[in-house]
Structure 1
Amino acid sequence: MRRRSFLTTAGAGGVAALTGCLGGGSDGETRTDGAGGTTAERTDTAGATTGTAGSETPELVVATYGAFVDAPSTSPGPWLKDRFESEFDATIRYETPDSEVNYYIERASRGVDIPADVYVGLDVNMLIRIDENLDSGLFAPVDGLSRRDDVKESLEFDPRGRAVPYDTGYICLVFDETFDGGGFTAPKTFDGLLEDQFAGDLLVQNPVSSATGKAFLLHTIKAKGEDGYLDYWTDLRENDVRVVEDWSTSYAAYSNGEAPMVVSYSTDQVYANESGEDLAKHQLRFLNDQGYANPEGMAMFEGTDRPEVARQFMDFVLRPEVQAEIAVRNVQYPATTTAELPESFAKYAQAPPEAVTFTYDALQANLSEWTSAWERQFVGN
Structure 2
Amino acid sequence: MTRRTTRAVTRIAAGAAVVALLPVLAACGGADPADDAATASTTITLVTHDSFAVSEDVLAAFEAESGLTVEQVAPGDAGTLVNQLVLTKDAPLGDVVYGVDNTFASRAVEAGVFEAYQPEDLDPQVAAYAPDDLAGTLTPIDVGDVCLNLDDGWFDENGVTPPATLEDLTKPEYRDLTVVTNPAMSSPGLAFLLATIGAFGTDGWQAYWTDLRDNGVKVAESWEDAYYVDFSGAGEGGQRPIALSYATSPAFTVSEDGATSTTSAMLGTCFRQVEYAGVLAGTDNADGAKQLVDFLTTQEFQADVPAQMYMYPADPDVELPADWQKFAPLADEPFEVAPSDVAAHRDEWIEQWTTTVVG
Alpha-carbon deviation of 1:309?
Answer: 4.1
Matches within 5 A, 1:2-81: 35=11, 43-45=18-20, 55=38, 59=42, 61-65=44-48, 67=50, 75-76=53-54, 78-81=56-59
Report the counterpart of residue 32 of structure 2 in structure 1: none
Matches within 5 A, 1:69-218: 75-76=53-54, 78-86=56-64, 88-96=65-73, 98=75, 100-109=81-90, 112=91, 114=92, 116-131=94-109, 134=111, 137-151=112-126, 153-154=128-129, 156=131, 158-179=133-154, 181=157, 184-218=160-194
Letter in 2 for 1:162: T
Distance 1:58 1:341 in 2: 36
Distance 1:157 1:174 in 2: 32
Equivalent pairs: percent with the same residue?
26
Report the counterpart of residue 311 of structure 1 in structure 2: 290
Alpha-carbon deviation of 1:67?
Answer: 4.2
Distance 2:340 2:119 in 1: 25
Deviations 1:132-184 (A, max 9, x none): 5x4xx121222442124241634658434311110123111211222252554
1:322 has 2:301 as partner: yes
1:254 to 211, 215, 231: 231
1:299 has 2:278 as partner: yes
Letter in 1 for 2:87: E
Equivalent residues of 1:32, 1:67 under 8 A apart: no
Distance 2:100 2:346 in 1: 17
Alignment TM-score, normalising by the size of structure 1: 0.74
Deviations 1:271-291 (A, max 9, x none): 22388899553122112xx52
1:237 to 180, 201, 213: 213
Alpha-carbon deviation of 1:131?
Answer: 4.6
Distance 1:276 1:221, change over 3 A: farther
Equivalent residues of 1:177, 1:183 under 8 A apart: no
Alignment TM-score, normalising by the size of structure 2: 0.77
Distance 1:140 1:46, change over 3 A: farther
Q: Kindly report the root-mean-square deviation, in angstroms, between the aligned alpha carbons of the 2 structures.
A: 3.7
1:339 has 2:347 as partner: no
Letter in 2 for 1:260: P
Distance 1:278 1:246, change over 3 A: farther
Q: Which runs of 5+ in 1 are unaligned?
A: 1-26, 70-74
Q: Which runs of 5+ in 2 are unaligned?
A: 26-34
Q: Which aligned segments of 4 or more residues in structure 1 are displaced greater than 6 angstroms?
A: 30-33, 274-278
Report the counterpart of residue 328 of structure 2 in structure 1: 349
**Larger helix percent:** 2
Distance 1:234 1:203 in 2: 15
Report the counterpart of residue 363 of structure 1 in structure 2: 342
Distance 2:46 2:62 in 1: 16
Mean alpha-carbon deviation: is it higher for 123-132 or for 356-365? 123-132
Question: What is the aligned residue count?
Answer: 335
Deviations 1:4-63 (A, max 9, x none): xxxxxxxxxxxxxxxxxxxxxxx9xx9896535999x97131799x9x857599525132
Distance 1:166 1:281 in 2: 29
Report the counterpart of residue 282 of structure 1 in structure 2: 263
Distance 1:367 1:308, change over 3 A: same
Distance 1:219 1:77 in 2: 32
